[in-house]
Amino acid sequence: MRPLDGITVVTLEHAIAAPFCTRQLADQGARVIKIERPGAGDFARGYDERVGGMSSHFVWTNRSKESLTLDVKNADAKEVLGGLLSTADVLVQNLAPGASARLGLDFETLSAKYPKLCVCDISGYGGDGPYRDKKAYDLLVQSESGLLAITGSPGAPAKAGCSIADIAAGMYAYTGILSALLLRGRTGKGSHIEVSMLESMVEWMGYPLYYAINGQSQPPLAGASHATIYPYGPFPTGDGKTVMLGLQNEREWKIFCDGVLMLPALAGDTRFASNSARSASRDALREIIVDEFSTLTAEQVIERLDRAGIANARMNSIEDVWNHPQLAARNRWREVSIPGGTVPALLPPGIPDGCEPRMDDVPALGQHTAAIMSELGYTSDQVEGLRTAGVI
């Protein structure tokens, strides 16, 4: 038995934030009915063709879902939506601002008809305020939230390499829905969950916000190094590779000098007497570290770091991650079907012991339309008529 077996989620979603949320609900056993535009579908289907002709974003966020094509702006779609929502537990939507209200899918309207329905609205900036109607793509929210101000190198700010603002919003939507379902179990009533990408990212920016509170300077751009802790980041080795390492306290600093750099006297150098001092003198300290590491291979450096108990990591490529020995040893990969083949998929983190997560097919556009319409009581002739009319 999975935690969300028996829970039905209807989702009007596109791109990443909402699909990432609902895929995790599906992982936990929920039935997720994804409503897509007839003929086009979720526009993330067209981002690329890297995975057997399918989009990499879409394959990542849409396994284990049922695809129903429905033109929600068509008047005849209202009855179909009503039939779906009458038995659903959760509605998720990340339509354009104001669109759900115009369609009668706002929480106030729906709760009067379906008092047990939990409704989750995901948007860029929230349902009100001066930014409500601004378009909010992941990069733009990374910029608005201040992430770009602390990421990259001096003179070259950089965005996170994955859709971190979408992921943040999707995670808060996911946990918010789980909380709403728990609350419904106590009160019998559904809840309204509102998640904005901006607020999700600003929550994740808590450390730099507090670091720069009351007009103090913000963390400097430090590339792949830590902005305020040193040494903490990438260092080249003699074989042309890169090793990441990080120190957290003075005990580790002394061990690092003794057992990694083989320079025990360095621990007493006043230039490096505290983390703040080391951070301020990072150029001089980096030169010392790079000089020692230049005589060693990456594996030899890692061997020294491991022996000394200093945190470290390899600078892995994407191919390295596919073949990561830790993931293989823990049997974390499964196979998921896509139209025309299969792809590996990582077991979702955090599934309770004894539960096998749901990891079903990535759906083709409209793959489940006929079956779902039949469940709602439509005959094959009615389905064909709605299809001809462009409703489904």
CB-CB contact of 63 with 362 (8 Å) = yes
Coil vs helix vs strand at 10: strand
Helices (H) and strands (E) in the chain, counts: 17, 13
Extract the tokens encoding 209.
Answer: 């916000």
List, edge to edge, every strand of the sheet that includes 311-314. Answer: 232-236, 242-246, 311-314
Query: Residues with Cβ < 8 Å from 156, sequence gap 6 or more?
Result: 221
Per-residue b or e along 324-343, where b marks 16 or more CB atoms closer than 10 Å to that residue's CB: eeeeeeeeeebebebeeeeb
Q: Residue 237's Cα: distance from chain center in Å?
A: 32
Instruction: Concatenate the DSSP letters of all residues of 257-308 into one string.
Output: HHHTSS-GGGGG-GGGSSHHHHHHTHHHHHHHHHHHHTTS-HHHHHHHHHHH
Alpha carbons 344 and 117: distance in angstroms, whole number: 34
Q: Do 237 and 297 meet the contact criterion of CB atoms below 8 Å apart? A: yes
Give CA–CA dist 70/211, Å, rounded. Answer: 48
Catalytic residue annotation = 226
